[in-house]
């Protein structure tokens, strides 16, 4: 298949572009030598195709940005902007056995070139960035879909489906200065969904080398952080010995007593951002089931995300403004009570994520339950609907997002996209109930 | 079958013809394209006038460096990580992290990129006038082009000068720079700051010449202040020249080597009333806003650094604070006869420039040595929002004290003392200083770190810092020339790492005791 696309979003010389797609399938089960007779269908397929990504409306124009007081430049448009170009190679197999079990397996590999990105410009041009085609992102996705008719009677049918998928993406070519944007870092070799942020030391092995001989002056507290306590003290002594708010000098380094210590790397002296983990789930599953009994159809869908992290920015922000539940010390024993400086240390980092607020984002959700009842014809006639011309009448009740099971402490771990889960005072996904009456004339 | 193929061919041909002839050129009606702006005389003038916003933003607007520089000059102090203010002003002072990934890279990047943005607008506007012959006229046909040129050269000089003050090196962009040619721009070399400042002063002198020749007056709306008469405009330019002559010095040695005779000449021809912008015109001062901000729990607040107001203390508390180890320092009350710092009712009453704050919203775990009981409040919290207020940018007091420094360095100590006394006596209600310094008395102000009554130089430094605090962001430029920056403080900023990447230059930086650090 060949396609020629025109778009006014590109530069004048690049408005028309060609794309193609070629697909190949081989139905092995149709061959006379095919030995596995219980397969009604066994098909191998492969395809290769290309597609183009489009820039934003304004990206090709070399304009000023006129605001209230002046005309400024910020980003230079590019009259030579081309589409970003993605080539996907997909291989897969489709199987149907015993007339009732279907399995589809797919592996797809994508390479996206000429990403439409802002490239830094020499400042003397007056522009900070210019829209250019640059960078390569490579990725893959695997997907398996299993569908089975578990029971097929005259009045009762029951079928189930399970869909599982996993994808990963990595920047393999960048060609420009790396930068941090929100939780993620844009740089060659970095994967989509990786989180970078601050981490507090949890183990003596993470202490600066200078403290190699004085590890006993640090202790892991009840929150799991390694804190400076000094000679002869324990993390429990803050209130009893009046140590909160004091400083303790260990190997010439002055620490605030009892407060967690930021992990520092080699990058100069500022607090360092470290890799914390990935927001991308290990695998996502969707498990659906349909039961039909005469005119009644019941459907249920469970979504299951395994792995993946969420930044609970809401909780971090509440630490910063001292409104988080953790800050409330009532009901705690004296040895576990902590001053507000402790919570500020953990949460007060502006928009930068802190490992303390990165939480497991796996969940199981009862995504949908629905019941649909189609009125039998005699009932239609009895209600006089047939006379009005109604051929079929169905009544349905649908509930969505009914239950969530998760270790996440916020409202809903399912925020943003699978590669960027930052819960910053987001509304959770709404639970909805819908009812409908369908009349077909 | 034959008919089928023929029909298909006709349908395909029609389809291709229709699609192929689609007009895919769409004008952008949201924002004006470059060429369009540069065709209309009014637009060219508007482009040039808009660059004043950038000059203002550099000195005290929202470019993210003014407060960090104030904090490292020990003028205003905070523990809020307000664009690196706390990190950079903590002690011992660290090197500036010049990686583009640094959380506070904006400290170096924003003033840099915003300045070049405005310099490019000056370039485009001047090019349209000087090379393409655009003429700007009023409704009666009077030629207003010289006014636009003079104003453009003024903002060009002001912008270049700021680059020369802040960065160790910079690219000089004027109307003659081929900025539209990326390859030529890539081949440019950054110049050392002294040459950048020389070109800034050359632009300001060019502005002066045109302004004088054509008697250029500037509408108040252009500078968001009062109308500038031809005389007032030229005086303002002289004052900027005086600034760039003096504030470019990185060290006391360089400051001593400034052409002080010329500084006197420029100040004498400089402003005779404060140059201020008017509130409610869209320009804000982040510098004045946060310096005077409320100390509510969630507010970002700066306080008056004890190194700014401590020399006014006559109780010995400042000297005791200095003698205490860094992390053990606590805030204290100042006893002083200087009515700018406190009122006559004691240490906890408000002075005319500073107010007393009994509580603090700063964080003890970030070092109580950052704390202070006093806050700058000279403008009563005003920072540009409200109409009817005036926000000074260049003050007569600043110019007078520049001249006092010049006279001091040229050997005229009596003359210097007389100029210092103008504000010292009238605003501070302090006894006058003499050529030999502050008269010995139990309540002499200022006092040195070891508690002695200050000499004439001490009195000059104290007066300059108190009188110019919060007026414009000059504390850092003064502090490096006075030699009072904390050891290890950066003396200037490097070209941002992001820009170094573009040119393929290696990263470098200043501060932390390495190159470009205060001793």
Q: Which two tokens stand for residue B246?
A: 């003096």
Closest partner residue to B32 (CB to CB) among A63, A70, A345 is A63
Cβ distance A195 to A358 under 8 Å?
A: yes
Q: Which two tokens stand for residue B73?
A: 């000059």
pLDDT value, residue A103: 96
pLDDT value, residue A247: 84
Q: Which residues of A touch B179 (CB under 8 A)?
A: 124-126
Alpha carbons B430 and A403: distance in angstroms, whole number? 74
In the predicted model, what is the mean pLDDT of chain B? 92
Residues of B numbered 24-63 whose beta carbons fall under 8 angstroms of chain A's beta carbons: which are they? Answer: 24-26, 28, 30-34, 37, 46-47, 49-54
Average pLDDT over every residue of B196-205:
98
In the predicted model, what is the mean pLDDT of chain A? 89
- Who has greater pLDDT, A59 or B130? B130
pLDDT value, residue B61: 81
pLDDT value, residue A272: 65
Residues 6+ apart with CB under 8 A from B90: B366, B367, B370
- pLDDT tens digits along A357-415: 999 999 999 999 999 999 998 888 888 888 888 888 999 999 999 999 999 999 999 99
pLDDT at position B188 over 90? yes
Average pLDDT over every residue of B249-254:
97
Query: Is A124 near chain B, with CB under 8 Å?
Result: yes
Domain ranges of chain A: 1-143+166-176, 204-261, 281-308+361-441
Domain B34-278+491-503, architecture per CATH = Alpha Horseshoe (1.25)
Average pLDDT over every residue of B119-136:
94
Q: How would residue A69 be classed by pLDDT, with cut points 50, 70 and 90?
A: low
Average pLDDT over every residue of A406-429:
92
Q: How would residue A436 be classed by pLDDT, with cut points 50, 70 and 90?
A: very high
Average pLDDT over every residue of B455-464:
98
Cβ distance A272 to A265 under 8 Å?
A: yes
Closest chain B CA to residue A76: B34
Mutation target vs A (from B21, B116, B328, B507; most A CBs, 10 A cutoff): B116
Query: Is A65 near chain B, with CB under 8 Å?
Result: yes
Query: Is B512 near chain A, with CB under 8 Å?
Result: yes
- pLDDT tens digits along A199-226: 899 999 888 888 889 999 999 999 999 9
pLDDT value, residue A266: 45
pLDDT value, residue A70: 67
Domain ranges of chain B: 34-278+491-503, 300-389+396-470
What SS3 state is found at A119? strand
- pLDDT tens digits along A246-258: 888 899 888 889 9
Mutation target vs A (from B17, B97, B117, B177; most A CBs, 10 A cutoff): B117
Interface pTM (ipTM) of the complex?
0.84
| Pair type for strands A274-278 and A253-256 | unpaired
Label residue A68 exposed, middle or buried (CB < 10 Å: 0-12, 13-18, 19+). exposed
- pLDDT tens digits along A279-305: 999 999 999 999 999 999 999 999 999
Q: Which of A175-184, A427-436, B202-211, B283-292 has the lowest mean pLDDT?
A: A175-184
The dihedral region occupied by A154, where left means phi > 0, alpha psi between -120 and 50, and beta the remainder, is: alpha
pLDDT value, residue A265: 55
pLDDT value, residue A350: 67
Q: Which two tokens stand for residue B170?
A: 């910079």
- The fraction of chain A above a pLDDT of 70, given in percent, is 96
Distance between B378 CA and the closest CA of chain A, angstroms = 27
Alpha carbons B205 and B150: distance in angstroms, whole number? 10
pLDDT at position A271 over 60? no
pLDDT value, residue A270: 41
Where would I find the H helices in A279-358?
A: 313-320, 340-347
Average pLDDT over every residue of A184-188:
79
Query: Is B385 near chain A, with CB under 8 Å?
Result: no
Average pLDDT over every residue of B149-157:
98
Q: Which of A349-358, A417-426, B412-421 has the lowest mean pLDDT?
A: A349-358
pLDDT value, residue B30: 67
pLDDT value, residue B113: 92
Q: How far is CA A304 from the centre of its chain?
A: 13
| Pair type for strands A226-228 and A218-220 | antiparallel
Where would I find the H helices in A281-429?
A: 313-320, 340-347, 377-382
Closest listed residue to residue A277, CA positions, set A197, A382, A222: A197
Phi, psi of B459 (to 5 degrees): -65, -40
A62 with B24: Cβ contact below 8 A: no
Label residue B366 exposed, middle or buried (CB < 10 Å: 0-12, 13-18, 19+). buried
Q: Which residues of A touch B171 (CB under 8 A)?
A: 122-124
Alpha carbons B2 and B393: distance in angstroms, whole number? 85
Average pLDDT over every residue of A121-125:
90
Tell me how crowded residue B203 is: count the other CB atoms within 10 A of its CB. Answer: 25
What SS3 state is found at A51? strand
pLDDT value, residue B298: 78
DSSP character string of A144-164: EEEEEEEEE-SSEEEEEEEEE
**Cis peptide leading into B394, omega within 30 of 0?**
no
Q: How many CA atoms lie within 13 A of A237 on its CB side?
A: 15
Average pLDDT over every residue of B92-121:
88
pLDDT at position A268 over 50? no
| Pair type for strands A75-76 and A129-134 | parallel
**pTM, full prediction:** 0.78
- The fraction of chain B above a pLDDT of 90, given in percent, is 75
Average pLDDT over every residue of A2-31:
89
SS3 per-residue string spanning B455-467:
CHHHHHHHHHHHH
Cβ distance A306 to A285 under 8 Å?
A: yes
- pLDDT tens digits along B285-343: 999 999 999 998 878 999 999 999 999 999 999 999 999 999 899 999 999 999 999 99
pLDDT value, residue A74: 65
């Amino acid at each position: 298949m060949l396609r020629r696309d025109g778009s006014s979003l590109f530069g004048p010389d690049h408005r028309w572009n060609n794309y193609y797609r070629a697909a190949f399938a081989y139905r092995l089960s149709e061959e006379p030598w095919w030995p596995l007779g219980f397969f009604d269908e066994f098909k191998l397929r492969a395809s290769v195709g290309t597609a183009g990504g489009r820039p934003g409306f304004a990206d090709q124009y070399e304009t000023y940005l006129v605001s209230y007081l002046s005309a400024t430049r910020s980003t230079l448009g590019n009259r030579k902007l081309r589409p970003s170009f993605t080539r996907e190679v997909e291989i897969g197999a489709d199987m149907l056995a015993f007339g009732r079990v279907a399995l589809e397996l797919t592996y797809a590999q994508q390479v996206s070139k000429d990403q439409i990105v802002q490239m830094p410009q020499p400042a003397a041009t007056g522009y900070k960035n210019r829209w250019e085609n640059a960078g390569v992102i490579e990725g893959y996705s695997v997907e398996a879909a299993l569908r089975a008719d578990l029971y097929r009677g005259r009045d009762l049918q029951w079928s189930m489906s399970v869909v599982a998928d996993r994808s990963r993406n990595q920047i393999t070519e960048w060609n420009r200065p790396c930068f941090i944007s929100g939780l993620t870092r844009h740089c060659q070799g970095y994967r989509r969904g990786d989180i970078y942020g601050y981490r507090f030391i949890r183990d003596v092995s993470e202490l600066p080398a200078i403290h190699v001989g004085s590890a006993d002056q640090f202790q892991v507290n009840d929150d799991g952080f390694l804190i400076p306590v000094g000679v002869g003290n324990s993390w429990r002594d803050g209130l009893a010995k009046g140590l909160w708010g004091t400083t303790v000098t260990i190997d010439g380094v002055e620490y605030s007593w009892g407060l967690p210590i930021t992990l520092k790397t080699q990058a100069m002296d500022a607090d360092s951002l470290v890799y914390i983990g990935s927001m991308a789930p290990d695998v996502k599953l969707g498990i659906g089931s349909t039961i039909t009994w005469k005119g009644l159809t019941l459907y249920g869908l469970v979504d299951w995300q395994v792995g993946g992290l969420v930044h609970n920015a809401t909780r971090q922000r509440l630490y910063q403004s001292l409104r988080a539940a953790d800050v409330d010390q009532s009901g705690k024993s004296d040895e576990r009570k902590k001053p507000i400086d402790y919570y500020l240390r953990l949460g007060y980092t502006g928009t930068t994520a802190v490992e303390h607020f990165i939480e497991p984002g796996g969940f199981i959700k009862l995504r949908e339950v629905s019941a649909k009842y189609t009125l039998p014809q005699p009932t239609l006639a009895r209600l006089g609907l047939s006379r009005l011309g109604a051929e079929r009448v169905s009544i349905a009740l649908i509930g969505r997002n009914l239950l969530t099971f998760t270790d996440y402490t916020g409202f809903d771990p399912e925020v943003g996209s699978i590669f960027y889960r930052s819960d910053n005072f987001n509304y959770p996904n709404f639970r909805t109930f819908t009812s409908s009456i369908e009349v077909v004339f | 079958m034959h008919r089928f193929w023929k029909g298909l061919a006709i349908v395909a041909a029609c389809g291709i013809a229709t699609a192929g002839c689609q007009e895919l050129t769409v004008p952008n009606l949201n924002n004006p394209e470059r060429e369009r702006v540069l065709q209309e005389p009014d637009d060219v003038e508007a482009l040039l006038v808009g660059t004043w916003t950038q000059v203002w933003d550099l000195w005290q607007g929202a470019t993210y460096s003014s407060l960090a520089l104030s904090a490292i000059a020990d003028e205003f102090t905070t523990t809020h990580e307000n664009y690196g203010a706390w990190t950079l002003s903590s002690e011992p002072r660290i090197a500036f992290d010049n990686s583009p990934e640094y959380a506070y890279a904006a400290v170096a990047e924003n003033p840099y990129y915003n300045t070049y943005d405005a310099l490019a607008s000056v370039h485009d506007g001047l090019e349209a006038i000087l090379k393409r012959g655009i003429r700007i006229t009023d409704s009666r046909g009077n030629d207003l082009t010289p006014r636009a040129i003079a104003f453009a050269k003024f903002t060009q000089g002001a912008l270049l000068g700021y680059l020369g003050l802040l960065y160790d090196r910079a690219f000089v962009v004027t109307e003659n720079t081929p900025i539209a040619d990326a390859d030529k721009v890539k081949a440019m070399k950054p110049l050392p700051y002294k040459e950048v400042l020389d070109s800034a002063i050359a632009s300001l002198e060019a502005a002066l010449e045109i302004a004088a020749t054509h008697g250029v007056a500037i509408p108040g709306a252009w500078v968001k202040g009062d109308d500038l008469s031809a005389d007032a405009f030229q005086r303002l330019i002289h004052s900027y020249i005086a600034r760039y002559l003096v504030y470019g010095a990185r060290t006391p040695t360089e400051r001593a080597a400034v052409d002080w005779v010329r500084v006197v000449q420029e100040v004498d021809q400089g402003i005779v009333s404060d140059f201020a912008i008017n509130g409610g015109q869209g320009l804000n001062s982040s510098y004045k806003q946060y310096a005077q901000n409320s100390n509510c729990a969630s507010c970002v607040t700066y306080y008056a650094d004890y190194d700014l107001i401590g020399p006014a203390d006559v109780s010995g508390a400042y000297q005791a604070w200095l003698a205490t180890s860094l992390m053990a320092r606590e805030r204290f009350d100042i006893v002083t006869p200087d009515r700018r710092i406190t009122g006559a009712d004691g240490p906890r009453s408000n002075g005319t420039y500073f107010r007393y704050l009994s509580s603090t919203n700063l964080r003890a775990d970030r070092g109580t040595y950052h704390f202070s009981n006093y806050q700058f409040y000279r403008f009563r919290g005003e920072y540009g929002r409200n109409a009817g207020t005036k926000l000074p940018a260049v003050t007569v007091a600043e110019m007078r004290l520049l001249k006092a420094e010049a006279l001091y360095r040229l050997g005229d100590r009596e003359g210097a003392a007389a100029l210092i006394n103008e504000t010292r006596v009238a605003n501070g209600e302090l006894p006058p200083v003499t050529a030999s310094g502050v008269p010995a008395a139990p309540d002499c102000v200022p006092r040195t770190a070891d508690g002695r009554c200050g000499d004439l130089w001490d009195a000059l430094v104290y007066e300059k810092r108190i009188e110019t605090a919060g007026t414009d962001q000059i504390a850092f430029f003064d502090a490096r020339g006075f030699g009072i920056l904390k050891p290890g403080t950066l003396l200037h900023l490097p070209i941002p790492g992001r820009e170094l990447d573009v040119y393929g230059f290696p990263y470098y930086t200043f501060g932390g005791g390495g190159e470009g650090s205060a001793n």
